[in-house]
Chains A and B, each alone.
Chain A
Amino acid sequence: MLESSKDSAKLDAMKRIVGMIAKGKNASELFPAVVKNVASKNIEIKKLVYVYLMRYAEEQQDLALLSISTFQRALKDPNQLIRASALRVLSSIRVPIIVPIMMLAIKEASSDLSPYVRKNAAHAIQKLYSLDPEQKEMLIEVIEKLLKDRSTLVAGSVVMAFEEVCPDRIDLIHKNYRKLCNLLVDVEEWGQVVIIHMLTRYARTQFVSPWKTDDDVVEEYNENNFYESDGEQKEKDRNVKKTYTMDPDHRLLLRNTKPLLQSRNAAVVMAVAQLYWHLAPKSEAGIVSKSLVRLLRSNREVQYIVLQNIATMSIQRKGMFEPYLKSFYVRSTDPTMIKTLKLEILTNLANEANISTLLREFQTYVKSQDKQFAAATIQAIGRCATNITEVTDTCLNGLVCLLSNRDETVVAESVVVIKKLLQTQPAHHGEIIKHMAKLLDNITVPVARASILWLIGEYCERVPKIAPDVLRKTAKSFTNEDDLVKLQILNLGAKLYLTNSKQTKLLTQYVLNLGKYDQSYDIRDRTRFIRQLIVPNEKSGALSKYAKKIFLAQKPAPLLESPFKDRDHFQLGTLSHTLNSRATGYLELSDWPDVAPDPAVRNVEVAESAKEWTAILGKTKKEKPTEKFYSESEEEEDESASTGATESESGSESEKEDKEEGSSDESSGSSSSSEESSDSESDSKESTAKKTSGAVKESNAEESKKKAKGISKNRNTSSSSDTESSSSEGSSSDSKSVSDSRSDSDSGKSGSATSSKKEEKTAQDRKTPSKQDVFLLDLDDFYPVTTPVAVPTAAVLSPSLTADLEGLSLSGSSVIDVTTQVFVPTKTHEMLHRMTGKGLSAHYHFSRQPDMFGDHMVPVQVTVTNTTDQKIENIHIGEKKLPLGMRIHEFNPIECLEPGGSVTVSMGIDFCDSTQTASFQLCTKDDHFNVNIQPPVGELLLPVTMSEKDFKKEQGMLTGMNETSATIAVAPQNSTSLVIIEKVVKAANLGVVPSGQDNIHRFAAKTVHSGSLMLVTVELKESSTAQLIINTEKTVIGSVLLRELKPVLSQG
């Protein structure tokens, strides 16, 4: 049929062949006939041929080569689906000869425009690697390239390839670390799991442990008093521990993984849980427990794995799961393996407070029909009894009651547990032993019998009358006993012989004789050994004198421990952990480093752009940029200084020295969340006054190091704390950190004369504090609403840093990415005056929060205030009078507004890229008012980041008609870069583009509705004039924007 000319017949044939493959039957003879059809036009036939090829190509290598050319052709196909599937099949054919072809195909595909093809390329890497490990070096190059890819589609697959090919090349991750963290939320779920596991390992090598502080706090406190006048070395050590601050990158990882706990995919939740377990400070790890408990509602298999992990966790940190104790209660319908795991966890969680409820619960379990489970429960009771001394007696009594149980396994288990318990409580338990001796007649389970015999032997002095009798009985049945029991009979005999030889001498010898001829060599050996020891004869050595000591020594009580005790050295959530043995390919989780490796490796790009930045500002660099990287080899001072220069620094070193200097610098936080400004301030103090507002990071070189030591230390802490705060809060952080910094600086004021100066500067650099306050209020209602990848930035933060932190678009190939706002305007506009609104007033402002209501909406925040003395109810948007195409995303109606109260709500308006007013009615319960919102043109934009190169390229395409320009006079106070940038971004929602020339400033944005690019260039000329150029397809908006920007720059 395969030879048939009809597609339908071929298809039918192929379907049958696939059916054969599926059943595991051999269909390899058909290879030649099938392979011919690889070039079939019918896509379904093609797919089935692919299936066949992947299965049999390895066996028929020569014939498989026939198909290669088809794939090579398909790799050039314009359809990305075909390109991708060709690559998939090509790489799945495990024929060593085609390795070079595969390599070439992978290289090409890795720079394909379609992220889907790139994803497949990442998969192909693993396949090629498993086919020919020699290609490793080349493949690593490709991986390196793909790691830089910004598409969420690719990220998961390439990390997978990384894990497979070169998991030890951690250096490849550095530069991509932040990107991966930020992308994580949008990666598909399987990729998330892989990335999280990889990042866990990464973080363990790169950050210092957050756990030390938890344990050492108290101890250090005391130390402080003792070593006041001691040498520096000790103080240093102490300070390292004491002033642990989490690396902002470490924090970034924790923050970005947290939302994933809400994932519907159990594997993702577990991955995050293990990440928190291994990386988070102990106080924070608790948040994962809720999600893990949620997973217990899932399938049996998921439950099994999750419970295992919880069991390990609950041994070390009981507190995490204590609130969920009842979730682990066992149901009679659970499978046994789930029951035992739950029991294990319950036992781990037992403490004085809950033990009584737990024991009641256990009582139910003991009666369970599932005997295996009942036995496990008895052991659990035993463990509780040893761990919690208060209940030992209760448990023991309970167990003794169980001895009268009808079920043999239950009784046997109880005996064993009682034996262990008695051993830990070697007090007066003669009664119990007597009781157990009686039981010996009925119990047949060997372990239980052996345990009883051992007990009697061990405590034979407490039951002098019974013990010989027991020996007599067992001697009778010796030959029929299990090996285990026989050994104990021998032991019992020996012990009795030593303590009570009068009564038992003959009996013991009888038993020993029986043992001498036993079938088991173990027993014969033991018999011989015991005889030599206890029976005195001429040959017996010195040992027999000590026989009594040997046999009747105090034995240490056994520890009843959890079987999960030793699992914690495996990373949670891994196969190795589940099996409790090393699986092949398990990657060890390293211990925390004592000193964090230089975190600067993660922000090389930033450092480079910082260079650019200084260039813009026209400040001379004092040293070559390479000197920044001396840090490792040079003195610690240098390290702290240089690392402080780079953007995000905490590092114990800097902290350590900080303390060493003894400068109580609360003022550290006083700089704004923008490091640029903080840098500039300290610089101005530190060297000369000519740097008024420069941000020369490299300037803290050796020469200024000495005299500015203290200050530079300040700066280090400030930058670290700043970045932390700025990156840790949602979009509101820039307003928040301002408030933080203000309070901080207040405290620091008295300390240093300069701090007040700083404060002024801060205020000047940003907005006035009072304004900020108002703004802060607004944002409070609202703050975490941002795009998932958004990390806030301060007003004048380096644009490329912005790009690095958050310029990560969801879709792949584009280099132009929407970012968050660079600046949030505080100016509010009146919508409804309280006079016209009969006491209801409304103001609005543009929050510049991207992506809140969908793509085309401009977000607007409306603050409604009730100035009447009555409640106003049901405030909502009524009839809308909108120009064509314009849309409004209404805010949720406000049910009730108290007198004097005010509420901020957010709405979205799609202005269709026009400055036409949106008119609508603002309705209350019994009134309605017509209101308008007219957007300034600057609010119709979304900032984007792009490189200078891209900017120029785009600009080149938007010349002629699309360009508008004007020459303007620039007020002298506006001629510095910072001021220009600040003013422009204030006037319009533009993103800053890094610029190589310091007299040219570039800004980029796209329009909210149509997404057209809007490029703004400000070129400073001689004699305080400037050329303002705007390139955009939307010429109308362009010219309006030009008109609006002109006064901004020319006025003071």
Chain B
Amino acid sequence: MLMRCGPGCHCPSPSPSNLIPKRVTSKESCQATDGKHRQSQKMIHSLFLINCSGDIFLEKHWKSVVSQSVCDYFFEAQEKAIDVENVPPVISTPHHYLISIYRDKIFFVSVIQTEVPPLFVIEFLHRVADTFQDYFGECSETAIKDNVVIVYELLEEMLDNGFPLATESNILKELIKPPTILRSVVNSITGSSNVGDTLPTGQLSNIPWRRAGVKYTNNEAYFDVIEEIDAIIDKSGSTVFAEIQGVIDSCIKLSGMPDLSLSFMNPRLLDDVSFHPCIRFKRWESERVLSFIPPDGNFRLISYRVSSQNLVAIPVYVKHMISFKENSSSGRFDVTIGPKQNMGKTVEGVVMTVHMPKAVLNMNLTATQGSYTFDPVTKVLTWDVGKITPQKLPNLKGIVNLQSGAPKPEENPSLNIQFKIQQLAISGLKVNRLDMYGEKYKPFKGVKYITKAGKFQVRT
């Protein structure tokens, strides 16, 4: 179905022109047609950023230019997939391979010419998105368009000839200063630039994640132990699958070169751990102590999984009664959420989302607590419950209106629950102490525990 260009031509062959004719401009599509691309070219060739409506709003090439028309294959795949979630991350075209990620309503589509570990590219693209997030506060189309020069400078530093060069945010920030209102004012007056002219010290040292000469008046180190419960609860309320995944996010503002070691009361709980590169692996292996020279600012210290032998305490229960009547265009909906085994802490921030079957037209419900919305287009019911008080259990009850004539949905929708419990790590993990070496001052230390629902699903 697709036409191939002549042999030796490495231009992306234009996709069937009847599909998306406007994007194929013959001039562009044959730019790269000189015969010197015989041999392989590694890694990431070009990057296109595409928004949800299918406009390419940024392109960057690290080698010779690849025409935009290569994205037509991507659009084709997108069309086929219907849902954005289902666009395959790896697409093969006659001359290129497209590896894409979807983040914050933007597709990052990279063009690859040769064999490369796909995860390599995916991981890198996510790192790019993370960096944008870090620099601009959000990774949105407008933010990128507004800061296109910084975006370009960043991409230039992050990738050289398609191979990642500097991806640590600390290093990048020394090379290219993030935009602030104050700085842009100063720059416009003094004409100074926001590009650093010295090589970041981190790049050369063996601790590339930390920049030198950090100074704070208040020296603080905060650790957030965040645990998420992933669970599948079946119809009868028994747990099909439950697991605790945790992370420790840190915010460290310490002067100089502090050497920290963090120990746990019960390190055995941690089953599978992945580390920020700053952590000394050997020390963990032998003593179960996290010893590290931290990066400056916010970063994820570790993520872990709690060993599966431990039974997971499920902090909430859900009573549900959802039924659709045969041969009538209505159904009943009745859900109650209650607290369970939460160690005396309150369950807050409870939100329930339900993807209702397509046949559902509308819902007439009453909530005893919180508020609910139903989007008739996406068929998503959202019930924002808030805090659960055991005295008065929140309940949502009412009538479901179905499309008349449509067959009764045979499956009840599953309920996705979110919640949050402050000051509790559900696994029981506890930080024992934090010690600092290498610097003389006394830092302010803090540890916070939060338990959240991860992928928490109740089948009905």
Residues on A close to B: CB < 8 A? 6-8, 11, 15, 18-19, 21-24, 42-45, 47-48, 50-51, 55, 58, 79-81, 84, 88, 91-92, 94, 96, 114-116, 120, 123-124, 126-127, 129-133, 152-153, 157, 160, 163-164, 185-186, 188-190, 193, 197, 259, 262-267, 269-271, 290-291, 293-294, 297, 299-302, 304-306, 323, 326-327, 329, 331-333, 335-337, 361, 364, 367-369, 405-407, 573-576, 578-579, 581, 583-587, 730, 782-788, 810-812, 852-854, 887, 889-890, 892
- Known contacts being A88-B160, A299-B101, A337-B88, is A329 close to B194, with CB within 8 Å? no
B263's partner among A130, A294, A573, A892 (CB-CB below 8 A) is A892
Q: Which of B34-42, B385-393, B396-404 lies on the face that meets chain A?
A: B34-42
7 other contacts beyond A164-B40, A585-B113, with CB at 8 A cut-off? A24-B56, A91-B161, A94-B63, A94-B64, A190-B164, A369-B355, A585-B114
B414 close to A (CB within 8 Å): yes
Are the CB atoms of B199 and A188 closer together than 8 Å?
no
The smallest C-beta distance from B326 to any residue of chain A, in angstroms, reads: 11
Point out the residues of chain B lying under 8 angstroms from A18, CB to CB: 148-149, 152
Give the docked Cα–Cα distance between A332 and B303 (Å). Answer: 25
A578's partner among B36, B90, B193 (CB-CB below 8 A) is B90
Are the CB atoms of B120 and A185 closer together than 8 Å?
no
Are the CB atoms of B272 and A290 closer together than 8 Å?
yes
Range of interface residues on B (Cβ < 8 Å): 35 or more
Q: Can you report 12 A-B residue pairs in the complex whose CB atoms are below 8 A from each other?
A: A18-B149, A22-B60, A88-B160, A130-B41, A266-B122, A267-B117, A293-B272, A299-B101, A299-B122, A301-B101, A578-B90, A812-B204
Point out the residues of chain B lying under 8 angstroms from A574, CB to CB: 115-118
Point out the residues of chain A lying under 8 angstroms from B112, CB to CB: 575
Are the CB atoms of B58 and A23 closer together than 8 Å?
yes
The smallest C-beta distance from B186 to any residue of chain A, in angstroms, reads: 12
B115's partner among A81, A291, A576 (CB-CB below 8 A) is A576
The smallest C-beta distance from B52 to any residue of chain A, in angstroms, reads: 16
Are the CB atoms of B58 and A331 closer together than 8 Å?
no
Point out the residues of chain A lying under 8 angstroms from B124, CB to CB: 190, 267
Point out the residues of chain B lying under 8 angstroms from A302, CB to CB: 119, 122-123, 126
Are the CB atoms of A123 and B204 closer together than 8 Å?
no
Give the docked Cα–Cα distance between A44 and B196 (Å). Answer: 9
- A-B pairs with lowest CB-CB distance, top 5: A585-B114, A44-B193, A810-B206, A335-B85, A585-B40
Q: Which B215-261 residues have C-beta < 8 A from chain A? A: 230, 232, 234, 240-241, 243, 245, 259
B300 close to A (CB within 8 Å): yes
B68's partner among A6, A24, A123, A264 (CB-CB below 8 A) is A24
- Known contacts being A130-B63, A300-B102, A367-B411, is A327 close to B198, with CB within 8 Å? no
Interface 1/0s, chain B 52-86, versus A by CB < 8 A? Answer: 00001111110111001000000000000001011
Are the CB atoms of B114 and A583 closer together than 8 Å?
yes
Point out the residues of chain B lying under 8 angstroms from A300, CB to CB: 85, 89, 102
Give the docked Cα–Cα distance between A107 and B5 (Å). Answer: 38
- Known contacts being A81-B197, A92-B161, A299-B126, is A197 close to B117, with CB within 8 Å? yes
Give the docked Cα–Cα distance between A1017 and B205 (Å). Answer: 32
B394 close to A (CB within 8 Å): no
- Known contacts being A42-B193, A164-B40, A331-B457, is A583 close to B115, with CB within 8 Å? yes
Are the CB atoms of A186 and B206 closer together than 8 Å?
yes
B457's partner among A114, A130, A189, A332 (CB-CB below 8 A) is A332
Closest A residue, CB atoms, query B194: A44
The smallest C-beta distance from B43 to any residue of chain A, in angstroms, reads: 8
The smallest C-beta distance from A32 to any residue of chain B, in angstroms, reads: 20
Are the CB atoms of A193 and B194 closer together than 8 Å?
no
B156 close to A (CB within 8 Å): yes
Are the CB atoms of B149 and A19 closer together than 8 Å?
yes
B444 close to A (CB within 8 Å): no
Give the docked Cα–Cα distance between A586 and B57 (Å). Answer: 32
Give the docked Cα–Cα distance between A96 and B152 (Å). Answer: 26
B117's partner among A24, A80, A185, A271 (CB-CB below 8 A) is A271
Q: Which B266-320 residues have C-beta < 8 A from chain A? A: 271-277, 280-283, 285-287, 289, 300, 303, 305, 308
Point out the residues of chain B lying under 8 angstroms from A810, CB to CB: 206
A854's partner among B116, B259, B410 (CB-CB below 8 A) is B259
Are the CB atoms of A331 and B274 closer together than 8 Å?
no
Are the CB atoms of A333 and B455 closer together than 8 Å?
yes
B358 close to A (CB within 8 Å): yes
Are the CB atoms of B58 and A160 closer together than 8 Å?
no
Are the CB atoms of A188 and B208 closer together than 8 Å?
yes
Point out the residues of chain A lying under 8 angstroms from B287, CB to CB: 785
Interface 1/0s, chain B 174-202, versus A by CB < 8 A? Answer: 00000000000000100101110111000
Point out the residues of chain B lying under 8 angstroms from A782, CB to CB: 286
Point out the residues of chain B lying under 8 angstroms from A304, CB to CB: 88-90
Are the CB atoms of A331 and B232 closer together than 8 Å?
yes
Give the docked Cα–Cα distance between A575 and B98 (Å). Answer: 11
B203 close to A (CB within 8 Å): yes
Give the docked Cα–Cα distance between A853 and B413 (Å). Answer: 55
The smallest C-beta distance from A262 to any residue of chain B, in angstroms, reads: 5
B199's partner among A44, A50, A81, A583 (CB-CB below 8 A) is A81
Closest B residue, CB atoms, query A851: B280
Are the CB atoms of A301 and B122 closer together than 8 Å?
yes
- Known contacts being A262-B274, A265-B123, is A47 close to B455, with CB within 8 Å? no
Are the CB atoms of B414 and A24 closer together than 8 Å?
no
Point out the residues of chain B lying under 8 angstroms from A267, CB to CB: 117, 119-120, 122-124
Are the CB atoms of A81 and B188 closer together than 8 Å?
no
Give the docked Cα–Cα distance between A990 and B286 (Å). Answer: 26
Closest B residue, CB atoms, query A260: B281
B160's partner among A123, A186, A335 (CB-CB below 8 A) is A123
Are the CB atoms of A51 and B156 closer together than 8 Å?
yes
Point out the residues of chain A lying under 8 angstroms from B376, CB to CB: none
A55's partner among B61, B86, B198, B205 (CB-CB below 8 A) is B61
Are the CB atoms of A115 and B204 closer together than 8 Å?
yes
Give the docked Cα–Cα distance between A293 and B307 (Å). Answer: 13
Point out the residues of chain A lying under 8 angstroms from B164, CB to CB: 188, 190
Are the CB atoms of A133 and B151 closer together than 8 Å?
no
Are the CB atoms of A301 and B89 closer together than 8 Å?
yes
Interface centre among A271, A584, A853 (most CB of B within 10 A): A584
Are the CB atoms of A369 and B36 closer together than 8 Å?
no
- Known contacts being A48-B149, A127-B161, A892-B263, is A853 close to B97, with CB within 8 Å? no
B357 close to A (CB within 8 Å): yes
Closest B residue, CB atoms, query A167: B40
Are the CB atoms of A19 and B148 closer together than 8 Å?
yes
The smallest C-beta distance from B167 to any residue of chain A, in angstroms, reads: 7
A190's partner among B39, B167, B289, B300 (CB-CB below 8 A) is B167
Are the CB atoms of B282 and A786 closer together than 8 Å?
yes
Point out the residues of chain A lying under 8 angstroms from B245, CB to CB: 297
Point out the residues of chain B lying under 8 angstroms from A123, CB to CB: 160-161, 163, 165
Are the CB atoms of A333 and B64 closer together than 8 Å?
no
Give the docked Cα–Cα distance between A130 and B112 (Å). Answer: 15
B438 close to A (CB within 8 Å): yes
Interface centre among B40, B58, B286, B355 (most CB of A within 10 A): B40
The smallest C-beta distance from A797 to any residue of chain B, in angstroms, reads: 21
Point out the residues of chain B lying under 8 angstroms from A783, CB to CB: 286
Give the docked Cα–Cα distance between A573 and B121 (Å). Answer: 12
Are the CB atoms of B119 and A133 closer together than 8 Å?
no
Give the docked Cα–Cα distance between A393 and B193 (Å). Answer: 75
The smallest C-beta distance from A597 to any residue of chain B, in angstroms, reads: 25
Give the docked Cα–Cα distance between A152 and B208 (Å). Answer: 11
Give the docked Cα–Cα distance between A299 and B243 (Å). Answer: 18
Give the docked Cα–Cα distance between A305 and B118 (Å). Answer: 7
Give the docked Cα–Cα distance between A24 and B58 (Å). Answer: 7
Closest B residue, CB atoms, query A326: B241
Are the CB atoms of B163 and A575 closer together than 8 Å?
no
- Known contacts being A115-B204, A305-B122, is A575 close to B281, with CB within 8 Å? no
Are the CB atoms of B86 and A579 closer together than 8 Å?
no
The smallest C-beta distance from B287 to any residue of chain A, in angstroms, reads: 7
B423 close to A (CB within 8 Å): no
Give the docked Cα–Cα distance between A724 and B67 (Å). Answer: 54
